[in-house]
C-alpha cells in the first residue's frame, strides 16, 4: 500500500465521526422544524402544517437510519485503524498517529501537547505513515 492509500485508510475513522456529527446536526434541525411546525399549526387538520410535519418526520427517520448505519461502519473502521496502529512497533509514532487519526486532534494541538513545531509534527506523521504496515 502506498503512502496516499495508507493516509486514506487512516483518515476513514475521523471522517466517519465527522459525518455522524453532521447527521446529528441535521437531525436536530429537522426535529426543530417538526416541533415548531406542529406547535404553531394550531390544528391537526391544517394541511400546510401537516405536510411540513410529515416532511420533517420523513427526514428524521431517514437521518436516524443513516446514523445507525454510519455508527456501525465507524465502529468497524475504528477497530481496523486501531488494529493497524497496534502492530506499529515504535511508540512515539504510534501515539502521534492515534492522536491524529483516532482522537481527531489537529496537528497544532499535537505540536502544542508535545512541545514540538508543526513542521516537526508533520515530518513525524509523514515518517510514521510511511513506516506503518497496513
- How much is the pLDDT for 50? 63
pLDDT at 106 over 90: yes
pLDDT-based confidence at residue 43 (cuts at 50, 70, 90): very low
Work out the number of other CB atoms within 10 angstroms of the CB of residue 74.
Answer: 20
Hey, how many other C-beta atoms are within 10 angstroms of the C-beta on 115?
7
The predicted model scores a pTM of 0.70
pLDDT digits (tens, 9 = 90+) for 107-126: 999 999 999 999 999 999 99
Amino acid at each position: 500500500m502506498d503512502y496516499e492509500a495508507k493516509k486514506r485508510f487512516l483518515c476513514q475513522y475521523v471522517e466517519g465521526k465527522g459525518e455522524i456529527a453532521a447527521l446529528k446536526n441535521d437531525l436536530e434541525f429537522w426535529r426543530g422544524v417538526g416541533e415548531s411546525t406542529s406547535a404553531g399549526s394550531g390544528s391537526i387538520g391544517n394541511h400546510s402544517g401537516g405536510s411540513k410535519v410529515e416532511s420533517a418526520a420523513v427526514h428524521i427517520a431517514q437521518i436516524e437510519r443513516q446514523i445507525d448505519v454510519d455508527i456501525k461502519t465507524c465502529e468497524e473502521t475504528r477497530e481496523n485503524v486501531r488494529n493497524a496502529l497496534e502492530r506499529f512497533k515504535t511508540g512515539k509514532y504510534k501515539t502521534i498517529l492515534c492522536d491524529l487519526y483516532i482522537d481527531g486532534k489537529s496537528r497544532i494541538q499535537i505540536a502544542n501537547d508535545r512541545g514540538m513545531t508543526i513542521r516537526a509534527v508533520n515530518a513525524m506523521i509523514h515518517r510514521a505513515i510511511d513506516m506503518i504496515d497496513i
